[in-house]
Chain A
Amino acid sequence: MNNKLSIVAKISIFLAIGCIAALWAAPMWRIDLAAPQYPEGISMQIWINDVKGEVDIINGLNHYIGMKTIHKEDFREFVYLPIALAVFCGLGLLVFIRNRRGLYYGWTGLLIGMAILSMYDFWKWEYDYGHNLDPTAPIKVPGMAYQPPLIGYKKMLNFEALSQPDLGGWLFITAVVLLTAVSCYEWKRAKSKTV
């Protein structure tokens, strides 16, 4: 049985590594906020190792409702994520060198796993920020939580929040889709050869 990778799969390894490497240069996620008193909008970009944009303004607004302020230093993710992604890229090279289909499947699974874990972590983070409010907060709305949407649009008090992948996020998704598609292709190719 031929366990070697097709040329398509080999190319896909480098494309996926390229997409992931781009995360060092492009933000992963963005949350946009708009309200009548902020017609120009406020936005925050989440990078693999930082949170940028108008974070100070968001922190200033959040203090009324008792949300914790957002600081880069508070996120261990910003240390782990770059390491995990760098390891992923390194493993990609290994898959290429070893040239084994099984490894390719495993590698794809790893990325999907990382994507799911990241989204779960992001959701937990949002839940924590939106629910663990300061009991001395000046404004308390009974039953109100301020968890931003994981993805998509949500209205929170007078603010409209829109959460979506940014350029880096789309590249990550591209890598996931690409590897999944090529894995299916490899799977089918392998099946047709055994039959």
Chain B
Amino acid sequence: MKSNWLLLIIAAAIAMPGCKMKNTASAVSGDAAARTYVAPGKYDELYNFVSGGFNGQVSVYGLPSGRLLKLIPVFSVNPENGYGYSEESKPMLQTSHGFVPWDDQHHLALSQTNGEHDGRWLFANANNSPRVARIDLKTFKTMEILELPNSGGNHSSPFLTENTEYVIAGTRFSIPIGNQESALDNASYKKNFKSTASFIGIDKNTGHMQVSFQIILPGMDLDLSRAGKGPSHGWFFFSTYNTEQASTLLEVNASQKDKDFIVAVNWKKAEEYVKAGKAKKMAAGYYHNTFNEETHSATSEIIKEVLTLDPEELKDFVYLIPCPKSPHGCDVDPSGEYIVGSGKLAALIPVFSYRKFEKAIADKAFEGEYNGIPVVKYEAALHGEVKKPGLGPLHTEFDASGNAYTSFFVSSEIVKWNIKSLEVLDRVPTYYSIGHLMVPGGDTKKPYGKYVVAYNKITKDRYLPTGPELAQSAQLYAIDGEKMQLLLDFPTIGEPHYAQAIPAEKIKAQSVKFFDIAKNKHPYLSAGEKATKVVREGNVVHVYMTAIRSHLTPDNIEGVQVGDEVYFHVTNLEQDWDIPHGFAVKHAPNAELLIMPGETNTLKFVPAKPGVYPFYCTDFCSALHQEMQGYLRVSPKGSSVPLKWGTGTEDTARAVAAR
């Protein structure tokens, strides 16, 4: 008997080390690697535009490979290419509070036609200094930035209507309208603080944005938003928290009520009110910055007024739907019938029915008013609740077959459920703490539906450690099978929030290869090397310079003095794809330039000391790239050195000109 026991113990001891806790590395199985492998020379299937969070930029990844393709500077300066530093791009970052060279970029929206991504533009929000940007998807360049008046922080933005009629901007922090000074206490908050929902009209052809009207809402925090589509086209839904209207310690004070609201706005009706002259003009001062592709320069315009609508006066275009508890995401399904509220402190997911909501309004099934706005009865608008889905639901996206995917921050997982039956179908862990998630086209009428990407807040042990701050991360899952399958981790820039993805086919072919130099209307263009010159106007010196493989013209400049404001206007004469030239001056304190083929860019340089300052091309352009350089001679102030410039000796200059 004794020996039998001994055998058992030994057997158990041998077996035990084989039992381990499940770790992160074991999460991937099967053909995951093969499904994300994009062989050299092959293209990715989708472009994935990912918000840069506190980085202020937008990054572009290929899916399914997760390869970083590009960083698009939008709200933050980018010394890599001179965005925000070059004279041409500085106006893009102007605001009513001066030059703001950074922001907190959370959400992105691809332009839509008939509820489908059309590949024309990408819209981006700036949370901090409330702004909305439009990026052109032919050039992947920021073309326009519009500042928002009467906004405390632009969080529920930029979400779009199904034909890109409007992009909206809902304020996160309520503030006194007109940014008046006010005491900070609950009584003052209730009395003076308001939130606004701005409807930015978009020109069908050019994409130009303008604030068409603003709806002044009671003081509360607008969080996220979605436009209705199909049957609910004409409506916008905003989630909101702090309907308690507390001004301090919101962690406690804004989580008191069992239900907050989804704010439903009938924007078609609002449009009618504006047309009927029922909107009030309010004095404002906000910037509208646009980039012109022909002058390769941005200009700023200050807009002095804004039209506002007050739902306390005009009763029938804003309604509230109670939603448990501090809703975050507020997502409309592809059919346009279901609105999913995600109470981030709730233990269920409420799904509202647009038809029922409409009927509730017709039947006047209201439970009361909130600051003068009618509140629809919860049950009257409810389609049903997803029971026990997980902890901390945040965002929901949809596939093409009637399923929803909700991210759960607290329980760190993605849960798949059926929109109609509200049944939980599948769940998969995310590593770690997922925020937004994105199904390509999941916010449209026709989701692409093959993948879901999780954008994670915390990434402990996903990558090699890099000090206290670890890589930001996204995770790609396949959703085309019965079970969701983790395919890939890929690091991202900034803290990724929301993202958009579009089949490569919708963008690839339209990509601009170079700018036509014949169409360059920059005021300081040098159309060919013969047009280069140096012009002095008082203490301002304009250098008309050209760059072509592999020299700058002029490459010798004399007669510049200490304290002169030297503007290098560099035109890239190349007319070939992927031949940008760089331009940097020794000790220039701002940045360098990257000049695309056919473009003119300007670097300002104010030399502080006499000497010889080399300048050169920074973007490897050819076999003789290293030789692409020149000198600026800076003489003491008041020196008699005459202004002189050129490239090469007379003989070779002639040879170069002949070529």
Q: Do A and B share a complex?
A: yes
Task: Using CB atoms and an 8 Å cutoff, list the residues of chain A in contact with chain B.
Answer: 40, 54, 56-57, 59-60, 63-64, 69, 134, 136, 138-139
Chain B min CB distance to A100 (Å): 52
Chain A min CB distance to B80 (Å): 22
Chain B min CB distance to A33 (Å): 13
Which residues from chain A contact B550 at a C-beta distance below 8 Å?
138
Count of B residues near A, CB < 8 Å?
13
User: Could you tell me the distance between the alpha carbons of A40 and B577 in the complex, rounded to whole angstroms?
Assistant: 10
Residue of A nearest to B517 (CB): A56
User: Could you tell me the distance between the alpha carbons of A40 and B549 in the complex, rounded to whole angstroms?
Assistant: 20
> Given that A40-B577, A138-B623, A138-B624 are contacting pairs, would A69 and B652 also be in contact in the complex, using a CB cutoff of 8 Å?
no
Chain B min CB distance to A129 (Å): 13
> Given that A69-B659, A136-B652 are contacting pairs, would A60 and B624 also be in contact in the complex, using a CB cutoff of 8 Å?
no
Which residues from chain B contact A57 at a C-beta distance below 8 Å?
575-576
User: Could you tell me the distance between the alpha carbons of A64 and B623 in the complex, rounded to whole angstroms?
Assistant: 9
Residue of B nearest to A39 (CB): B41
Which residues from chain A contact B221 at a C-beta distance below 8 Å?
none
Check if B622 is an interface residue, CB within 8 A of chain A: yes
User: Could you tell me the distance between the alpha carbons of A54 and B579 in the complex, rounded to whole angstroms?
Assistant: 15
Cross-chain contact A64 with B655 (CB below 8 angstroms) = no
Chain B min CB distance to A134 (Å): 7
Check if B632 is an interface residue, CB within 8 A of chain A: no
Cross-chain contact A60 with B623 (CB below 8 angstroms) = no
Check if B548 is an interface residue, CB within 8 A of chain A: yes
Most chain B C-beta atoms within 10 Å of own C-beta, residue among A56, A60, A134, A139: A60
Which residues from chain A contact B575 at a C-beta distance below 8 Å?
56-57
The digit string for B518-550, where 1 denotes a CB below 8 A from any CB of A, is: 000000000000000000000000000000111
Chain A min CB distance to B613 (Å): 25
Check if B574 is an interface residue, CB within 8 A of chain A: yes
Q: 19 more A-B contacts (CB under 8 A) besides A60-B576, A64-B624, A139-B623? A: A40-B577, A54-B576, A56-B575, A57-B575, A57-B576, A59-B659, A60-B548, A60-B549, A63-B549, A63-B659, A64-B622, A64-B623, A69-B659, A134-B655, A136-B652, A136-B655, A138-B550, A138-B623, A138-B624
User: Could you tell me the distance between the alpha carbons of A40 and B622 in the complex, rounded to whole angstroms?
Assistant: 18
Which residues from chain B contact A136 at a C-beta distance below 8 Å?
652, 655
User: Could you tell me the distance between the alpha carbons of A60 and B581 in the complex, rounded to whole angstroms?
Assistant: 14
Chain A min CB distance to B512 (Å): 14
Which residues from chain B contact A138 at a C-beta distance below 8 Å?
550, 623-624
Residue of A nearest to B578 (CB): A37
User: Could you tell me the distance between the alpha carbons of A57 and B548 in the complex, rounded to whole angstroms?
Assistant: 11
Cross-chain contact A60 with B655 (CB below 8 angstroms) = no
Residue pairs across A and B with Cβ atoms less than 8 A apart, 24 shown, are A40-B577, A54-B576, A56-B575, A56-B576, A57-B575, A57-B576, A59-B659, A60-B548, A60-B549, A60-B574, A60-B576, A63-B549, A63-B659, A64-B622, A64-B623, A64-B624, A69-B659, A134-B655, A136-B652, A136-B655, A138-B550, A138-B623, A138-B624, A139-B623
User: Could you tell me the distance between the alpha carbons of A136 and B655 in the complex, rounded to whole angstroms?
Assistant: 9
User: Could you tell me the distance between the alpha carbons of A64 and B550 in the complex, rounded to whole angstroms?
Assistant: 9
Residue of B nearest to A56 (CB): B575
Chain B min CB distance to A126 (Å): 19
Q: 8 Å CB contacts to A: which residues of B485-519? A: none
Residue of B nearest to A67 (CB): B659
User: Could you tell me the distance between the alpha carbons of A121 and B549 in the complex, rounded to whole angstroms?
Assistant: 31
Residue of B nearest to A60 (CB): B549
Q: 8 Å CB contacts to A: which residues of B587-635? A: 622-624
Residue of A nearest to B574 (CB): A60
Which residues from chain B contact A54 at a C-beta distance below 8 Å?
576
User: Could you tell me the distance between the alpha carbons of A181 and B576 in the complex, rounded to whole angstroms?
Assistant: 46
User: Could you tell me the distance between the alpha carbons of A63 and B548 in the complex, rounded to whole angstroms?
Assistant: 11
Residue of A nearest to B624 (CB): A138
User: Could you tell me the distance between the alpha carbons of A56 and B577 in the complex, rounded to whole angstroms?
Assistant: 12
Which residues from chain A contact B622 at a C-beta distance below 8 Å?
64
User: Could you tell me the distance between the alpha carbons of A131 and B574 in the complex, rounded to whole angstroms?
Assistant: 26
Chain B min CB distance to A167 (Å): 25
Chain B min CB distance to A152 (Å): 27
Residue of A nearest to B655 (CB): A136
Most chain A C-beta atoms within 10 Å of own C-beta, residue among B550, B577, B624, B659: B659
Residue of B nearest to A40 (CB): B577
User: Could you tell me the distance between the alpha carbons of A40 and B511 in the complex, rounded to whole angstroms?
Assistant: 14
Chain B min CB distance to A12 (Å): 44
Which residues from chain A contact B624 at a C-beta distance below 8 Å?
64, 138
User: Could you tell me the distance between the alpha carbons of A138 and B628 in the complex, rounded to whole angstroms?
Assistant: 13
Q: 8 Å CB contacts to A: which residues of B114-167? A: none
Which residues from chain A contact B652 at a C-beta distance below 8 Å?
136
Residue of A nearest to B622 (CB): A64
